Each structure stands twice: as structure tokens, then as C-alpha cells.
Amino acid sequence: MDVDGVLTDGRIWLLSRRDGTASEIKGFSAYDGAGLKLARAAGLRTGVITGRESSAVAQRARECEIEFVYQHRATKIGALEEILQTTGAGASEVAYVGDDLPDIPVMQRVGLAVAVANAVPEVKRAAHFVTSRSGGDGAVREVIELIVKAQGKWAAAYRDAKA
């Protein structure tokens, strides 16, 4: 999945410091975090591919046990290829959640392309499914529940849910 606009609402907050530098602040949904842990419990492997580099993303990935973390990737398809090679999975076995134009090449390659509700129109057209929730507001959780329920793993996953 993408990060900004998918795991966050797309806003990038910069905190000015007295020394002239700035610190980046991102807001993540607790619902998405819980969903990512449910995914792990159901045996799904998760990853992020983002054009930006942020220590907040690295921290959130650790907290949510996101296995594949690719940052500072202006072109995302290469990261997808690395994930496929590492896992031995076929592209048709992958779901990807995006919101903006750089996500389209990955969405065109995977088996389940998902756009968040507030994605740009081109991404929605490239998607097999559009969430009812916006990025940063539980859209990733919605996708995880959809997949886990379709696989018949929902009852076991939520029974073993962890905070």
C-alpha cells in the first residue's frame, strides 16, 4: 500500500524548529493499525511503498508489524518487483491500495487494485474496488477485512485480535 493519502489523510505537517529545521508529523488511524495486526494474525503479509522518506513511517511500520517497507521510491513498480521476487508470489496474488497517480503502475499489475474513497479519479478508474472510507480514516482496515473475510479467516482473526 501507499502511505500518504492511504495510511494517512495525505496531509504532511511540518513543525518549525528554532534552528531553522523542521520535523515532519504524520497522523495514522488506530483502526488501520488494528487492521494490520488482524492481517498478520490471518497470515497476510503487508508492505508499504512510498515516495517520501520518514522516520514516522518506519516507526509505524514496526508498530504494525509491516513486513515490507520501501521508502523514497519515486517509481513504485521496482519495489513491487522486489517483493514478488522475495516472496515468490505472483502479481495476481497481491492487493495494493493507492490514492494518487504514482500508484497506478502498481495497481495495473496486481490482482486486486484498491483505491481509497478520496483517491484521484484516475486511480479510482484503475481500481477493482473503491473503499467507502477515506485514506487515514480506516480505509486500509476496510480492505483487510474484505480480504480476510473472503478467505474465510475472519472468525479466527478477530478472536485472536491484539491491541
Average pLDDT on 7-31 reads 95
Per-residue pLDDT at 79: 98
Give yes or no for residue 154 having a pLDDT over 70: yes
Model confidence at 158, in pLDDT bands (50, 70, 90)? confident
Q: Are 119 and 137 a contacting pair, CB within 8 Å?
A: no
Give yes or no for residue 161 having a pLDDT over 90: no
Rounded to 10 degrees, what is the CA torsion of 68, 76, 6, 96? -70
The DSSP string of 34-95 is HHHHHHHHTT---EEE-SS--HHHHHHHHHTT-SEEE-S-SS-HHHHHHHHHHH---GGG-E
Q: Are 27 and 8 a contacting pair, CB within 8 Å?
A: yes
Count of CB atoms within 10 A of residue 101's CB? 12
What confidence tens digit (pLDDT) does each residue in 107-134 have? 999 999 999 999 999 999 999 999 999 9
What percentage of the chain exceeds 70 in pLDDT? Answer: 99
Residue-range domains of the chain with CATH: 23-154 (3.40.50.1000)
Per-residue pLDDT at 159: 79
Model confidence at 155, in pLDDT bands (50, 70, 90)? confident
Give yes or no for residue 163 having a pLDDT over 80: no
What confidence tens digit (pLDDT) does each residue in 59-117 have? 999 999 999 999 999 999 999 999 999 999 999 999 999 999 999 999 999 999 999 99
Give yes or no for residue 31 having a pLDDT over 90: yes
Residue with cell 522486489: 82
Could you say which DSSP state residue 103 is in?
Answer: G
> What is the rounded distance in angstroms from the CA atom of residue 92 to the CA atom of residue 114?
13
Radius of gyration for the alpha carbons in the chain, expressed in angstroms and rounded: 15
Q: What predicted TM-score, i.e. pTM, was given to this entire model?
A: 0.94
Q: Which residue in 147, 149, 113, 118 sits closest to 132, CA to CA?
A: 118
